[in-house]
Amino acid sequence: MRLRHSHDQRAPCPPCVQVKRLCRSPAPDWEPLRFNVLRGSDNGAELFFTYFLRVQRIAYGDHASQFGELSVPAGDTLGAVVVIHGGFWHQRYGLELGRPLAEVLVADGFAVWNIEYRRIGGGGGGWPQTGEDVLAAIEAVDLGPVVTLGHSAGGHLAVWAAKHSARVVGAVAQAAVLDFGRHITARALELCAEEQFAEASPRALVPIGKPVVCVHGDRDEDVPVEQSIGFCAVEPQAELVVVEGAGHMDVITPGTEAWERCRSAVGRLAREC
């Protein structure tokens, strides 16, 4: 698969990527990004791992949270992935959670669009604004067909986007919030009113109409694995992957079995598109 070339000489975009100008922002530049991610502690001392990405920050709207970070491999691409971070839709969590995944996927040969969106808790989000931002971000950069990869609340958005965006060919849901009516209803009510569950909850939108791979640890302390089990029981194109001994953050921690299962699912869906 090759991405579409841009003929816009105003923007220093790499070959095969076309950025749609949806807002009056300066042409983006490619910059090296160095960042640290907290991975745990050892005898009380916090342990950080350092990652490096070459990214292009692109705004898809006028709000401070309407932007993303685009990273592409040096040569031909195997496909494109939209990474959607979690954090129960709260403002205090951002797209930095998706950067380690982007680094791995770019090295694998994928173009990666790691997106931010308006969130609740003072970030201008809620429903339908949060969902609308995800759809706008997917449309803002022309990467051809995309696989959405989302963690926790981002998994909710990844599956929701698969239902509503023609660009999305499939979704990998990592420890995803999939049924607002069970287990996590109190948290879902922070995002939207109960009468909006029918339009916001993936369980209520079945069939999604695209393949969905649900990867979930059986020791998830934040989103019960039953969220994925129940969704896959009713979604005809869903595949359930339960990782024994894995917790909520293992699915977004490179090097873990849970992450490798997500990585494999992304590659499989991208090849099938």
**Tens digits of pLDDT across the chain (273 residues):** 333 323 232 333 444 455 443 333 333 444 554 444 444 445 555 555 555 678 899 999 999 999 999 999 988 899 999 999 999 999 999 999 999 999 999 999 999 999 999 999 999 999 999 999 999 999 999 999 999 999 999 999 999 999 999 999 999 999 999 999 999 999 999 999 999 999 999 999 999 999 999 999 999 999 999 999 999 999 999 999 999 999 999 999 999 999 999 999 999 999 887
Provide the pLDDT for residue 119: 98
Provide the pLDDT for residue 17: 54
Provide the pLDDT for residue 76: 87
Confirm if 239 and 213 have CB atoms less than 8 A apart.
yes
Tokens of 182: 């069970």
Provide the pLDDT for residue 54: 83
| Helix (H) or strand (E) run with residue 158 in it | helix 153-164
Cβ atoms within 10 A of the Cβ of 196, count?
18
Q: What is the CA radius of gyration of the chain?
A: 17
128 upstream amide cis, omega within 30 of 0:
yes
In sequence order, which residues have a C-beta less than 8 Å from that of residue 26 and are 6 or more positions away?
none
Confirm if 39 and 253 have CB atoms less than 8 A apart.
yes
Tokens of 215: 């990867």
Distance, CA of 252 to CA of 26 (rounded, Å): 32
Cβ atoms within 10 A of the Cβ of 41, count?
9
Phi and psi torsions of 149, nearest 5°: -130, 115
Tokens of 95: 């797209």
- Coil/strand/helix, residue 173: strand
Q: Whole-structure pTM over 0.95, yes or no?
A: no
Q: How far apart are the first and last CA of the chain?
A: 9
Provide the pLDDT for residue 8: 33
Q: 146-176 as b/e, with b when 16 or more CB fall inside 10 Å?
A: bbbbbbbbbbbbbbbbbbbbebbbbbbbbbb
